[in-house]
Chain A
């Protein structure tokens, strides 16, 4: 099939960007979206032009590296699917596709479709862990965990940290990302000792990074390739409220 692409090109964060238009022929419906971009890049190189820069690595939908706005939707039109797992069979001959980087103040553009998501790492540094050193852990079966809690914690823990939730939100809020980590630990006994301080530190860091407040529109859940539920945001709010009310500081 034939596809027309309008891609955001920006040489660096210092330079203004703009859309460039490219025409691709002989796109196979079996190709993944990124393989389609590979083909474009191969053509650009053969014309001695610079290829489109985009982050990607595992191409299995798990590393969270890839991500772009495709026709205004983070990761494109397919539900619970990362950009690398999106396939061209989802498009039709003659389609025009607009591709942009994540748009959020907290995610500055580095080049073309590549953005800086280190704000997520800094939120994790603020409290996304249990404070146990290597070597002094009790036997793994010493704590019994109700299966339901273990499963809910797992569902929250599957967040891949891609940033689609932020890109989808009109406030560029990181609530879904933060709530997933806070929920995972709030549901497990291992997270209990630092339950209060964790939620307060992570939320404070989230605010400091310049992410907006929750828009309550659930766009984040709709865009999330890992299927993280907004119920986690409700849990985050409960955790935060309870931590604030019972804070001893």
Chain B
């Protein structure tokens, strides 16, 4: 497994990052302006990295497919951001945040990376407040905190139910400041379609201008991929419509290993599916479980309205099964418990595929105004979508695909197996193991962007001899030609089925066989079905319009084509991981209580997949995980 050098620094865990920073090579301030850096994606990780690198003096080009950098999907994160500030004096520490995150990830993440994340978490809050991010405050004027799943302290900072929006606008503002200074150029309505490597080092990208259709070449000394997760492989997810795996998948096919693709997070509290025309699912923040209680009727055929079911005939199944954490168990556990109740026939709502999230007791105890102050915008959103008032009746919720812990493999420097290609935020795999705790995604995106990449990218530039590469270099010509050929191919098929119909079909297969519960025969079926859908796609897809204009069908077609390849890798990874851990639940590996049965002896490793060719199966590499600071235990929230 010589390819996978995690480059974890020596020394005690609490000193690794400090020591490492002291050893990283620097570039003199006056020399930084000689380096060009490409940042793809302008969410929390991308905007933070692009702004910070611009501040340092590098020439940065930031790319996003949206019409403005401010619209990246980090903006939709609701609940909050964790930090080990211990402001509430409830015993929190860097160690506890580190421990909770490793345990929450079901012991499938790298200790050193997670410790660093916990270590810089406090700086993030300081930075954001200095940017003018209006976090919630108490009457005394100090910052307020709340609790999130999988923890027993209050360490989550929040801005009502719009924390992601406020953090992203903070990073976007910092980015706009650098644009004004001429250090960052934002190229919006651009989609990265491939990576250009010269002598095995990432040196640029090919991107399509989505407004004009023009193919563009951009050369740089380093490329940072901050392109988010791949949840939309399931078609229905809480991701934005445009979220896709294309940039990461292109890099995979150029030599970057893809790690743990089967680690997907199904979030327990989403608005249930209501029709076949449905285009996306909407999350209701985990913070709601602070005051909301999850239940189903105790009797299977109880069709009464929820308010008519007396207390004794309700089953608060999370409180029953997990008395210590109750409604605040981690997401994977809450999701599986909901599925278990619904599959057993206790589900509520028209389809029987939802459970109640009830605020009645909280409203009685705290008053409607207090609940409104905390969750007003979420209740409002729920009413818009469902036409129901959950101050009066309980919410109906069901799990939905939300976040992906897997991603491109990176070392401690966030560098992929392609030198010069760095991967930040949700697009990498490193910090959340097999399950991410709530309010940790924002923390990780900003940690990578503000406080990790600015150091490690500099080291790469300082330790490599990197001549400027002109955009008519043969490597650029080759990649641009390939990309152009693929788009022309998509337009020339002129079949009978729409792009969306293929995406929906793929999503159905993924949800049925690679969703909350997986088994070997189902995964085999999924692989065969995906191959068949892919084959039909390339025979029978209809992409209208031309490539020389704004053409959203063509954009979607390219993304779905990549999802159709990626979905198979996800299923392969799920098949190879013969254990249950975190968001990956194999029915063959469970306890009598339907809890996950991990297999540390054989699977305490990262699976990193290497692409070979269209006809050859990918190779599964392993990076063994070493736990020197936390003891591997069976995760218990009882």
Contact = CB atoms under 8 A, between A and B. Distances in A.
Nearest to A80: B380
B550 A117 contact: no
B87 A57 contact: no
Contacts of B52: 133-135
A161 B498 contact: no
Contact of B549 (A60, A111, A125, A151): A111
A144 B141 contact: yes
Interface stretch (B9-17, B193-201, B317-325, B381-389): B381-389
B131 A129 contact: yes
Nearest to B282: A60
Contact of B173 (A53, A81, A130, A137): A130
A51 interface: yes
A1 interface: no
Interface residues of A, number: 78
Nearest to B274: A30
A185 B75 CA distance: 20
Interface in A37-59: 38-39, 42, 44-46, 48-51, 53, 55-59
B33 interface: no
Given A45-B542, A85-B385, A141 B550 contact: no
B423 interface: no
B209 to A, nearest CB: 11
Nearest to A52: B552
A32 B164 CA distance: 24
A234 B186 CA distance: 32
B549 A64 contact: no
A87 interface: yes
B66 A57 contact: yes
A77 interface: no
Contacts, number: 223
B131 A125 contact: no
Contact of A58 (B142, B160, B240): B240
A39 B277 contact: yes
A126 B176 CA distance: 8
A61 B179 CA distance: 27
B240 A63 contact: yes
A45 B544 contact: yes
Interface stretch (B94-102, B122-130, B301-309, B475-483): B122-130
**Max chain B Cβ within 10 angstroms of own Cβ: one of A58, A114, A184:** A58
Given A57-B242, A65-B71, A85-B384, A141 B180 contact: no
A58 B177 contact: no
Given A118-B188, A157-B169, A185-B132, A38 B381 contact: no
A11 to B, nearest CB: 7
Nearest to A161: B70
B67 to A, nearest CB: 6
A157 B169 CA distance: 9
Given A30-B275, A62-B76, A190 B129 contact: yes
Given A39-B277, A114-B550, A184-B134, A62 B67 contact: no
B454 interface: yes
Interface string A105-118: 00000110010111
Interface size class of B (residues with CB under 8 A): 35 or more
B173 A129 contact: yes
A134 B451 contact: yes
B364 interface: no
A150 interface: yes
B211 interface: yes
A62 B75 contact: yes
B159 to A, nearest CB: 6
Interface string B96-112: 00000000000000000
Given A110-B550, A125-B179, A134-B450, A154 B159 contact: yes
A214 interface: no
A56 B140 CA distance: 40
B165 interface: yes
A81 B384 contact: yes
B55 A11 contact: no
Interface in A88-140: 89, 110-111, 114, 116-118, 120-121, 124-126, 128-135, 137-140
Given A42-B500, A51-B544, A89 B385 contact: no
A166 to B, nearest CB: 14
Nearest to B546: A50
B545 interface: yes
Given A57-B73, A59-B240, A121 B277 contact: no
A35 to B, nearest CB: 5
B172 interface: yes
Nearest 3 CB-CB pairings of A with B = A144-B141, A137-B130, A129-B173
17 contacts: A45-B553, A51-B552, A58-B71, A61-B384, A62-B162, A62-B165, A63-B71, A114-B550, A116-B211, A117-B67, A121-B68, A137-B129, A140-B135, A144-B141, A154-B166, A157-B134, A157-B166
Interface of B: 48, 51-52, 55, 66-73, 75-76, 85, 87, 123, 125-143, 159-160, 162, 164-166, 169, 172-174, 176-177, 179-180, 186, 188, 211, 240-242, 274-275, 277-280, 282-283, 380-381, 384-385, 387, 450-451, 454, 496, 498-501, 542, 544-545, 549-550, 552-553
Given A89-B387, A154-B134, A184-B132, 7 more contacts: A34-B279, A62-B76, A63-B72, A116-B67, A134-B450, A141-B87, A150-B137
